Structure 1
Amino acid sequence: MTKSRPAIIDALRGTSKRFLYTSGCFLYGATGDTPATEDSPLHPLEMVRFRQALEEEIFGAAADGVHGIILRPAWVYGNHAWTTMMMYGSAQGDGAARYVGNGQNRWTCVHVDDLANLYLLALEMAPAASVFNDAHGAATPLIDIARAASEGAGTEGRVAAWPLEEARQALGGFADAIACDQLVSGEHAERVLGWRPSRHSILDELRSCAPPAA
């Protein structure tokens, strides 16, 4: 059976036009205490396994004049990003911010505005077949993120554990992503592209959060 190729890659062959693909840091799987870099081996979570093959297609197309660039965002927050607002919403609705698993796993994050700046830098400057992690700041335990969401929602830091097996019934494989322990380095983007993320942390974001406008 012939493997199908993304149509956009075929359309761009020989053009040298820039093509930016948004992948993600879940390709690294659980990292342990060693921050993942762009050279780290991939152990993708099941829900994003397909992205590994797409990245390989993009890398391979460089020889045919496709200027492909891959970005791997960490957890995105800011401007009411959905996953972080799940915890905020559960605090508002139930009186406690609910987190998946035991809460000890760590999230590496990136503010959506810093991420937007990196997209612009990548489109302007990134070499063909390059890949960049989009991550900034220290990795933060999920339970601390939930507490900050609870504080922002006015429920005084109260949190509640959501057992992983129960969360899987509602969220499928996304529950495993929320419970994944990851440290990710964004230093390559800072060094090569001059990226300078500057927005406040996810904890400060959630503590100062207000409900989205109706």
Structure 2
Amino acid sequence: MRVFVTGASGWIGSAVTDELLAHGHKVVGLARSEESAAAIEAKGATAHRGDIDDLDSLAAGAAAADAVIHLAFRHDFTDYAGAGRTEHAAVARMLDAIEGGDRPFLVASGLAMGSSGPVLTEDDESPFRGADSMRGGSENLALDRAGRGVRPVALRFAASVHGMSDHGFVARLTEIAKERGASGYIGDGSNRWPAVHRSDAARLVRLALEKAPAGSRVHAVAEEGLRTRDIATAIGDHLGLPTESVAPEDADAHFGWIGRFFGMDAVASSARTRELLGWEPTGPTLFEDIAAGTYAPVDLPE
């Protein structure tokens, strides 16, 4: 298939691009800069210039493809509502561009949502709808097109998609630990985060493209729920720093923007995803990556 990938030069997108190319697909990657375009083309893919604010460029890229994988998102935590509205507009425009052709449309989502039980499953619907909701309600916006000439699939990624060169949540927690001289967790640290290695996440995306039926929700989750206290301890052990509890009322001051996410309890299963796609994670665990020095060499300031 000729696949239009937004975020193709990003953390997850670059691995997805490699995975698709390795399995015979052609990739057209959205590139907002010359640097991004060069990185995409160096892999053997084609660069398509534009960004997620450029709705005409998005529509053109989607319309010319056999499938769309939308991984780009503006992670602006100073204006998260604005980022959601941008996301909503981008997804709506690309869906309009491909409607009627029964083409796959895979959209990145997350697991920070309520569930009907103690563990979030693929059967749990996202509560977020509308441009002003979390991530612009893009998951439901896409899934609502099932049966209307689109094959939408929600890609729900674990809070930590980890691996070498990761600059996401765990990388930021590591930076904060080094800045503070201690590795912190919120409250008693019993809340949990799911995790998945980047290579496993990329393989899941490719399998979802090839196999997932319209309206599917798939969970990129290898480890259902790691206690945040244990994550903080693993970071502290690697850095040679103590681990400390941060009172919930002090979380914003201590952690900044990441505090609102690090305090969530988000246990998620991928049992149905594994059965549906024949997907089994094989990459390192999060704790193995932390211990291996994936996030920080031990170079503490004097």
TM-score (norm. length: structure 2): 0.60
Provide the residue aligned with 1:65 in structure 2.
Answer: 149
1:89 aligns with 2:175: yes
Could you tell me which amino acid in structure 2 is paired with residue 94 of structure 1? Answer: R
Query: For 1:138-157, what aligned pairs fall within 5 Å after superposition?
Result: 138-155=224-241
Provide the residue aligned with 2:122 in structure 1.
Answer: 38
Query: For 1:155-174, what aligned pairs fall within 5 Å after superposition?
Result: 155=241, 158-169=242-253, 171-172=256-257, 174=258
- Specify which of 89, 92, 95 is matched with residue 6 of structure 1: 92
For residues 176 and 140 of structure 2, the distance between their equivalents in structure 1, rounded to whole angstroms, comes to: 39
Deviation at 1:89, TM superposition (A): 2.0
CA 1:199–1:146 in structure 2 vs 1: closer, same or farther (change >3 Å)? same
Q: 1:153 touches 1:209 (CA, 8 Å); kept in 2?
A: no
Q: 1:23 touches 1:70 (CA, 8 Å); kept in 2?
A: yes
For residues 204 and 63 of structure 1, the distance between their equivalents in structure 2, rounded to whole angstroms, comes to: 42
- Specify which of 206, 215, 220 is matched with residue 120 of structure 1: 206
1:197 aligns with 2:281: yes
Deviation at 1:43, TM superposition (A): 5.4
For residues 211 and 275 of structure 2, the distance between their equivalents in structure 1, rounded to whole angstroms, comes to: 12
Aligned length: 202
1:190 aligns to what SS in structure 2? helix
Q: 2:113 touches 2:266 (CA, 8 Å); kept in 1?
A: no
Higher RCO (CA 8 Å, separation ≥ 6 residues): 1
Q: 2:194 touches 2:266 (CA, 8 Å); kept in 1?
A: yes
Q: Percent identity over the alignment? A: 28
For residues 199 and 284 of structure 2, the distance between their equivalents in structure 1, rounded to whole angstroms, comes to: 10
Deviation at 1:117, TM superposition (A): 0.9
Q: 1:88 touches 1:152 (CA, 8 Å); kept in 2?
A: no
Deviation at 1:8, TM superposition (A): 0.8
Q: 1:92 touches 1:154 (CA, 8 Å); kept in 2?
A: no
CA 1:144–1:123 in structure 2 vs 1: closer, same or farther (change >3 Å)? same
Q: 2:188 touches 2:245 (CA, 8 Å); kept in 1?
A: yes
1:181 aligns with 2:181: no
RMSD: 2.6
For residues 146 and 126 of structure 2, the distance between their equivalents in structure 1, rounded to whole angstroms, comes to: 21
TM-score (norm. length: structure 1): 0.82
Q: 1:135 touches 1:186 (CA, 8 Å); kept in 2?
A: yes
Q: 1:25 touches 1:72 (CA, 8 Å); kept in 2?
A: yes
For residues 93 and 120 of structure 2, the distance between their equivalents in structure 1, rounded to whole angstroms, comes to: 30
Deviation at 1:57, TM superposition (A): 2.2
2:144 aligns to what SS in structure 1? helix
Q: 1:23 touches 1:72 (CA, 8 Å); kept in 2?
A: yes
Q: 1:20 touches 1:68 (CA, 8 Å); kept in 2?
A: yes
Could you tell me which amino acid in structure 2 is paired with residue 163 of structure 1? Answer: A
Q: 1:150 touches 1:159 (CA, 8 Å); kept in 2?
A: yes
Instruction: Encode CA deviations 1:131-188: one digit per residue, 9 max, x unaligned.
Output: 1111112421101111101122233xx112233333335635x423211112210111
Query: For 1:90-105, what aligned pairs fall within 5 Å after superposition?
Result: 90-105=176-191
